[in-house]
């Protein structure tokens, strides 16, 4: 039976017989955070390493396929001989995997010819008045392409823009997206490409689906081994990529692998859709139940509603976002004064006008009358040192904490010249930059158990704040990318008498509390 006829829609009985240990756990794997994406990556990696489908001796050896490729390459202009790599020296480093039975090592250049593209001159309007697709990285969002956002004319082709025949493999080789993925596509129509892509014109176009699968399956290997580092724009080391040995199965096995991957990817699509639906339903249920807590008007009513919700915590709090929602609800309840019972204030009746919506003994105020705030300083990156006065930067401000895993420092002399940006124990630092705060408000409280510096008496900054000489403090600084604010309660301050100056830190966009 041919590989095409052997492919079928996944059914419970069929999947039970194929990769049972993996397929039976599909639904469980898909429920993990990012589970479906990781499952797709795993399937691709297994497929191109010969472990997703069994090898069948009746399909022969890939050496016969190499002979066919050699014959077709010899027929084409400039065709190169396909050399076996099974006994060759490893001129490109390590092979990416063990070679399955019946497979051979080949380079991508053995499978066809690469060609590049370019951007026709924008000054010649005639180049951009045609209907020939001109593919750039922004078009590489689908595995199969029949059109592009921009088009060129035959005049652009006559000026040196290469035509790419159908069923070629298009690969992005220069783009910021190479930080995380290697986009590929198979063009189903004749097309052209720009300079950020390479096209592999296959000697056997029927191999296009598998060759694309090959690059996708070794994507992590390519990103970690064959990309340039330290450049302005990420790019693939193309010569190394083109000559990198990859395993190639017989043609019939290629068809079986592609068919199996397609059906398992459809199963992933179904699991992904099911997961989205369940997530939406869970979010609505969680919102409704947590809403009963925030709708409470007294601590006693909250206690009753809390008990009802707590009975279902095992079902509600089964994912990180649910725990985050509960934490936010608790903070909201705390700020409304509903977490504890209220005692009388002792004030005589009539002396204070009650404010609607506030617990007894509470009053409304504004942030400015409670804390003082000041933006930080844009420290120059050339000032940064590996030791000295620590800096609080945006990268150090997390959700409720300050993270020192990526510290930066300035010299004590620089910190002394900008002492008005010094941070104290108990200060709250807020990050205001985007897109860093796209995941939610980032703020952290300055809190450390290291030695602190005994401060000197000094006058206030331009905002009219001041620091008592008796207040112990930590130092602060930062870098030009930070935009944030530091706040400190006006009433009271932490003091640490009798300590010695051994460690200081600073914040570049921190408000100076007074």
pLDDT tens column, 208-243: 999 999 999 999 999 999 998 766 789 999 999 999
CATH 3.90.220.20 fits 61-249, yes or no: yes
The radius of gyration computed from the CA coordinates of the chain, to the nearest angstrom, equals 32
Neighbouring CB atoms inside 10 A of 498's CB total: 6
How high is the pLDDT of residue 497?
31
Q: Answer with the residue of higher pLDDT: 339 or 258.
A: 258
Question: Is residue 411's pLDDT more than 80?
Answer: yes
Question: Is residue 200's pLDDT more than 60?
Answer: yes
Tokens at 151, concatenated: 């088009």
Share of the chain above pLDDT 70, in %: 72
Question: Is residue 474's pLDDT more than 80?
Answer: no
Q: Answer with the residue of higher pLDDT: 453 or 80.
A: 80
Neighbouring CB atoms inside 10 A of 203's CB total: 21
Cβ contact 486:507 at 8 Å = yes
* Phi, psi dihedrals of residue 427, rounded to the nearest 5°: -65, 150
Mean pLDDT confidence for 124-134: 95
Q: Locate all alpha helices (DSSP H) within 313-433, ordered by sequence.
A: 313-316, 320-335, 367-370, 412-417
The domain spans of the chain are 61-249, 295-364, 371-507
Three-class DSSP category at 481: coil
Q: Answer with the residue of higher pLDDT: 289 or 502.
A: 289
Question: Is residue 448's pLDDT more than 70?
Answer: no
Question: Is residue 5's pLDDT more than 80?
Answer: no
Cβ contact 418:377 at 8 Å = yes
Q: Which residue has the tokens 């705390």?
A: 334
DSSP state of 92: T
**pLDDT category, 343, cuts 50, 70, 90?**
low
Mean pLDDT confidence for 294-315: 86
DSSP state of 61: -
- Alpha carbon distance 13, 10 (integer Å): 8
How high is the pLDDT of residue 396?
83
Global pTM reads: 0.61
* Phi, psi dihedrals of residue 310, rounded to the nearest 5°: -60, -25
Mean pLDDT confidence for 453-476: 35
| Residue 210 CA to its chain's centroid (Å) | 27
| Residue 206 CA to its chain's centroid (Å) | 34
**pLDDT category, 319, cuts 50, 70, 90?**
confident
User: Helix/strand/coil (H, E, C) string of 180-210?
Assistant: CCCCEEEECCCEEECCCEEEEEECCHHHHHH
Smallest CA-to-CA distance from 279 within 26, 32, 25, 29 is with 32
């Amino acid at each position: 039976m041919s590989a095409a006829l052997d492919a079928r829609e996944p059914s419970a009985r069929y999947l039970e017989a194929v990769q049972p240990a993996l397929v039976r756990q599909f639904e469980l794997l898909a429920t993990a955070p990012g589970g479906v994406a990781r499952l797709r990556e795993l399937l691709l990696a297994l497929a191109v390493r010969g472990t997703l489908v069994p090898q069948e001796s009746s399909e022969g050896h890939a050496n016969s396929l190499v002979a066919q490729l050699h014959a077709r390459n010899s027929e084409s202009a400039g065709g190169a001989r396909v050399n076996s790599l099974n006994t060759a020296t490893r001129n490109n480093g390590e092979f990416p995997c063990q070679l399955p039975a019946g497979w051979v090592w080949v380079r991508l250049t053995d499978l066809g010819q690469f060609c590049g593209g370019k951007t026709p001159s924008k000054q010649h309007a005639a180049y951009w008045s045609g209907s020939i697709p001109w593919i750039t990285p922004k078009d590489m969002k689908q595995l199969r392409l029949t059109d592009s956002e921009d088009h060129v004319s035959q005049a652009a082709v006559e000026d040196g823009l290469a035509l790419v025949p159908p069923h070629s493999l298009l690969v992005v080789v220069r783009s910021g997206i190479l930080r995380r993925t290697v986009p590929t596509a198979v063009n189903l129509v004749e097309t052209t490409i720009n300079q950020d892509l390479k096209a592999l014109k296959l000697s056997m176009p029927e191999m296009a689906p598998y060759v694309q699968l090959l690059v996708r399956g070794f994507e992590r290997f390519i990103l970690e081994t064959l990309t340039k580092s330290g450049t302005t724009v990420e790019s693939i080391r193309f010569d190394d990529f083109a000559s990198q040995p990859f395993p190639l199965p017989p043609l019939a096995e290629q068809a079986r692998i592609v068919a199996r991957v397609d059906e398992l990817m459809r199963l992933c699509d179904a699991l992904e859709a099911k997961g989205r639906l369940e997530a939406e339903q869970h979010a609505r249920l969680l919102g409704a139940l947590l809403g009963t807590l925030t709708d409470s008007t007294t601590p006693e009513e909250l206690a009753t509603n809390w008990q009802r919700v707590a009975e279902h915590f095992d079902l509600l709090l089964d994912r990180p976002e649910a725990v985050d929602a509960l934490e936010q609800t608790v903070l909201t309840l705390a700020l409304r004064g509903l977490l504890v019972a209220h005692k009388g204030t002792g004030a005589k009746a009539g002396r204070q006008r009650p404010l609607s919506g506030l617990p007894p003994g509470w009053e409304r105020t504004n942030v400015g009358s409670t804390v003082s705030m000041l933006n930080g300083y844009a420290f120059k990156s050339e000032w940064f040192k590996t030791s000295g006065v620590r800096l609080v930067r945006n990268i150090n401000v997390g959700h409720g904490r300050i993270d020192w895993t990526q510290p930066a420092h300035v010299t004590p002399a620089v910190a002394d010249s900008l002492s008005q940006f010094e941070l104290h124990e108990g200060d709250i630092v807020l990050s205001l930059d985007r897109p860093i705060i796209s995941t939610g408000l980032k703020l952290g409280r300055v809190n450390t158990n290291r030695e602190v510096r005994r401060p000197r008496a000094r006058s206030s900054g331009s905002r009219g704040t001041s620091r008592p000489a008796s207040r112990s403090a930590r130092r602060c600084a930062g870098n030009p990318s930070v935009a944030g604010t530091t706040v400190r309660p006006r009433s009271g301050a932490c003091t640490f008498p009798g300590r010695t100056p051994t460690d200081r830190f600073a914040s570049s966009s921190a408000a100076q509390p007074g």
